[in-house]
A and B are shown apart, each in its own frame.
Chain A
Amino acid sequence: MSDVRLDAIMKSYGPVAVLHGISLDIRSGEFISLLGASGCGKTTLLRIVAGLEEVTSGRISIDGRDVTALPPEKRDIAMMFQSYALLPHLNVFENVRFPLRMRKIGTRAEQMEMAAAALATVQLGHLADRRPRQLSGGQQQRVALARAIVSHPKVLLLDEPLSNLDARLREDMQVELIELHKRLGLTTLFVTHDQDEALSLSDRVVLLNNGWVEQQGSPSEIYDRPATEFASNFIGSANLIDATIVERDGRPMAMLADQQCLALAAGEAARGAVRLALRQEDMQLAASGSGISGTVRTRVFLGAQNRYVVEVAGATIRVLAANAAVYATGDPVVLSIDPARVRLLTR
């Protein structure tokens, strides 16, 4: 069990800075997701923790020990790669035993036992004699997972391990990862570009943008209270609309460009010009009633629900709505939202 401490990690390739001083404390046993779009530096950060990339400046310590200058083999970490990186010349069992053999953990008999146990954990004991290329993608992925946990590393690093799996298998693996983490309590750093994955798996989400930490917090914090425009756009892909805060009958309202008003939660101070972040799943659509009115531009059928693109005050708003009522292009509709679900961002 260990703490991982990243202290002002900077990384640049020549004149191009990829990470701008990232500091992060990871508690022992914590499951942290590094979330961000491609090119935000999340994989670079993971590779720096692994020791596969050198930092330009900054310090990394694992369990109180400064490992900044140590090569990967001396760091007591395990990493699972996006492409799994199973050794093609070894069978499944030898692949899983490999870290024990190289780190000289235990006797030969103990190694066999540990490798068998790790394989059993991912329910692949019966495939021990196969070569990696004889396995399906999902099976290879589980072998890679078994290999990563077999030596009980201080830190488990996962580099988008689920991105090569099909949707169904990915859901199964998410559940398996959660259970495995609960059982083993390994300090885990998980890189992903998939917000659902980050929200469902981790104790804490670190949202990266262009080499900066945009926001970090528990999944519900990140989801419910995105701090910045980037965060609210990236998580849940909210609609962003410019508005002005005005007061009507002693209550704060957000006034859109066409003078329509949206009720806000009491206590929102009049801040003048703001930007509203409205999540598409938070809004309701009706044919009439109170709310802001707009016109349906497009309907996208998604199976369980529909996504409507609604034109309001010169902007477009995406709304996810159940199939109860169907609106056609050009239909006038009324949008409403719980005032507590409206997020205000400073413009």
Chain B
Amino acid sequence: MTDRTENMLLVGPGLLLLALAFLLPIFQMLSLSVTGPSGLTLLNFVNFLGDPFYLGVLWRTIRLSLLITVICALIGFPLAYIISKVGSTMRLWLIAILILPLMTSVVVRTFGWMVLLSRSGLIPQVLQGLGLAHRGFALIQTETAIVIGMVQVLLPFMTLSVLGVIARIDPVLEEAARTMGCSFLQTVRTVVLPLSLPGIIAGSLLAFTLSASSFVTPNLLGGARIQVLATSIYNSVTQTLDWPFASAQAVILFAGIILTLIPYVRLMGDGRG
């Protein structure tokens, strides 16, 4: 047996699984989205793009995902830098704390936020007590709640992506920058930040795609009123039982994510070249 056929045999089961579990459903989804009562139709897409409510849902999904990604990057980059600089024991603890949220079930974690953010929850109560919020103020069922919940989940992805890159930056480069007239913050800005860009890009990619397609957290923290694309798809499937329309929304979500992926992948390519 040649190496080539051996390789094909080894890769076969994986490819088969990918085809059955990923490509087949996607193909079905695509075909369902253009299926109407009387054959092929683009009606589902027209309905979506012509309806201000659904356009609002789409815009909210994009806006919140971007906001979540940016916040994750703003927290994740300094956090990763600190983790890369502390001693090995401290580093272990910080990473453990960082990935702890991923070890609890999404439902438990989100219920935790519901308790904290609801009208009688800790955070609104404290804000009211400090006179920073009016009576009856609640964070639950707001976009803020979705952002808070999602940032907590996605921060580890961002931080670990950046950490992987930042840890490989030669510390001598930072020392050299200091001897060339950079203050500490200038060193971070002109040396560390540009060199950790591949990690920030990879982390942003993860954070954006995961938050754009997330369902449980927005559903529980945003409530029925504040819908994102994933919850809207779920509603179409379970409440209006309009599978073709749900498929059309899924295709739009899928296409949107692919579209954001392209410039990112370009950026990554530039970084390497």
Chain A residues packing against B (C-beta within 8 Å): 50-52, 71-73, 77-79, 81, 83, 85, 87-89, 98-99, 102-103, 147, 151, 157
Contact call B178/A71, Cβ cutoff below 8 A: yes
Give the distance in Å from the alpha carbon of A51 to the alpha carbon of B175 in the complex: 10
Which chain B positions have C-beta within 8 A of A77? Answer: 179
* Residue B173 at the chain A interface, CB threshold 8 Å: yes
Chain A proximity of B186: nearest CB distance (Å): 6
Asked whether A88 and B195 contact (CB < 8 A) given A81-B172, A102-B190, the answer is: yes
Asked whether A89 and B178 contact (CB < 8 A) given A71-B183, A83-B172, the answer is: no
CB nearest to A76 among chain B residues: B181
CB nearest to B182 among chain A residues: A102
Which chain A positions have C-beta within 8 A of B190? Answer: 98, 102
- Chosen A-B contacts, 15 in total, with CB atoms closer than 8 Å, are A50-B179, A71-B178, A72-B178, A73-B186, A77-B179, A81-B176, A85-B176, A87-B173, A87-B177, A89-B195, A98-B190, A99-B180, A102-B180, A103-B181, A151-B181
Of A52, A87, A88, A89, which is within 8 A of B179 by CB? A52
* Residue B170 at the chain A interface, CB threshold 8 Å: yes
* Residue B252 at the chain A interface, CB threshold 8 Å: no
Mostly helix, strand, loop or mixed at chain A's interface? mixed
Asked whether A73 and B183 contact (CB < 8 A) given A87-B191, A89-B194, the answer is: yes
Give the distance in Å from the alpha carbon of A78 to the alpha carbon of B180 in the complex: 6
Which chain B positions have C-beta within 8 A of A81? Answer: 172, 175-176
Which chain B positions have C-beta within 8 A of A50? Answer: 179
CB nearest to A90 among chain B residues: B194
Beyond the given A52-B175, A98-B177, A99-B180, could you list 14 further A-B residue pairs with CB under 8 A, ordered by the A residue number?
A: A71-B183, A72-B179, A73-B179, A73-B183, A78-B180, A79-B176, A79-B179, A81-B176, A85-B173, A87-B177, A87-B191, A98-B180, A98-B190, A103-B181
Chain B proximity of A158: nearest CB distance (Å): 12
Which chain A positions have C-beta within 8 A of B172? Answer: 81, 83, 85
CB nearest to A73 among chain B residues: B181
Chain B proximity of A93: nearest CB distance (Å): 15
Which chain A positions have C-beta within 8 A of B173? Answer: 85, 87-88
**A-B complex: 9 closest residue pairs judged by Cβ atoms:** A85-B176, A102-B181, A103-B181, A99-B180, A72-B178, A79-B179, A85-B172, A89-B194, A73-B181
Which chain B positions have C-beta within 8 A of A71? Answer: 178, 183-184
Which chain A positions have C-beta within 8 A of B186? Answer: 73, 102
Which chain A positions have C-beta within 8 A of B175? Answer: 52, 72, 81, 85
CB nearest to A99 among chain B residues: B180
CB nearest to B271 among chain A residues: A89
Contact call A85/B170, Cβ cutoff below 8 A: yes
Residues 180-223 of chain B: 1 if any A CB is under 8 Å from the residue's CB, otherwise 0?
Answer: 11111010001100110000000000000000000000000000
Which chain B positions have C-beta within 8 A of A79? Answer: 176, 179
CB nearest to B191 among chain A residues: A87
Residues 146-170 of chain B: 1 if any A CB is under 8 Å from the residue's CB, otherwise 0?
Answer: 0000000000000000000000001
Which chain A positions have C-beta within 8 A of B176? Answer: 79, 81, 85, 87
Chain B proximity of A150: nearest CB distance (Å): 9
CB nearest to A131 among chain B residues: B273
Which chain B positions have C-beta within 8 A of A78? Answer: 179-180
Give the distance in Å from the alpha carbon of A151 to the alpha carbon of B175 in the complex: 17
Which chain A positions have C-beta within 8 A of B179? Answer: 50-52, 72-73, 77-79, 157
Which chain A positions have C-beta within 8 A of B184? Answer: 71
Contact call A73/B170, Cβ cutoff below 8 A: no
Give the distance in Å from the alpha carbon of A71 to the alpha carbon of B182 in the complex: 10
Give the distance in Å from the alpha carbon of A172 to the alpha carbon of B190 in the complex: 33
Give the distance in Å from the alpha carbon of A81 to the alpha carbon of B177 in the complex: 11
Which chain B positions have C-beta within 8 A of A147? Answer: 180
| Max chain B C-beta neighbours (<10 A), residue from A71, A102, A157 | A102
Chain A proximity of B27: nearest CB distance (Å): 42
Give the distance in Å from the alpha carbon of A50 to the alpha carbon of B179 in the complex: 7
Chain B proximity of A11: nearest CB distance (Å): 17
Asked whether A99 and B183 contact (CB < 8 A) given A83-B172, A85-B173, the answer is: no
Give the distance in Å from the alpha carbon of A85 to the alpha carbon of B195 in the complex: 13
Chain A proximity of B228: nearest CB distance (Å): 37
Which chain B positions have C-beta within 8 A of A89? Answer: 194-195
Give the distance in Å from the alpha carbon of A78 to the alpha carbon of B172 in the complex: 14
Residues 93-137 of chain B: 1 if any A CB is under 8 Å from the residue's CB, otherwise 0?
Answer: 000000000000000000000000000000000000000000000
Which chain B positions have C-beta within 8 A of A87? Answer: 173, 176-177, 191
Contact call A51/B178, Cβ cutoff below 8 A: yes
Chain B proximity of A147: nearest CB distance (Å): 7
Which chain A positions have C-beta within 8 A of B177? Answer: 87, 98, 102
Give the distance in Å from the alpha carbon of A81 to the alpha carbon of B173 in the complex: 9
CB nearest to A75 among chain B residues: B179
Chain B proximity of A75: nearest CB distance (Å): 8
Give the distance in Å from the alpha carbon of A51 to the alpha carbon of B186 in the complex: 17
Give the distance in Å from the alpha carbon of A72 to the alpha carbon of B180 in the complex: 8
Chain B proximity of A301: nearest CB distance (Å): 40
Give the distance in Å from the alpha carbon of A147 to the alpha carbon of B176 in the complex: 11
